[in-house]
Amino acid sequence: MVDIKRLQEEGYDVIVIIGEVDASSSIELDNAINEAVKSGKKKFLVDCTSLEYISSAGLGVFMSYIEEFKRNDINLVIFGLNDKVANVFEILGLDQLLKIEGTKEEAKALLG
């Protein structure tokens, strides 16, 4: 079960992921990212401090947007991954393809 919220905070679009992203709930993550991209904004934070688990389908959602982010000059920074989730991102090499920081402050600093 996942709860995904989109917030506006200090000029950033923030996507907050709470709970678990699996095959069935990855659609909600895809919808949230898609809406954010369509908004025309260029700076996004993805708050994963309450993300407990992400399946390959959830990771696939992030992977599916990598080229679109580059093409449209969109900066997305993920932060707050717990060790277990961060390890999954690293195993798949997503830590090399996506910007990942430990804290919201570090993520904001990276966005500028």
pLDDT along the chain (112 residues), means of 10: 93 95 96 94 96 95 95 96 95 94 96 86
- The dihedral over CA atoms of 47, 30, 63, 23, expressed in degrees to the nearest 10, equals 100
pLDDT of residue 63: 95
**pTM to 2 decimal places:** 0.94
CB atoms near residue 49 (< 10 Å): 13
Burial class (CB in 10 A: 0-12, 13-18, 19+), 6: middle
For 2, the 3-state DSSP assignment is strand
pLDDT of residue 11: 83
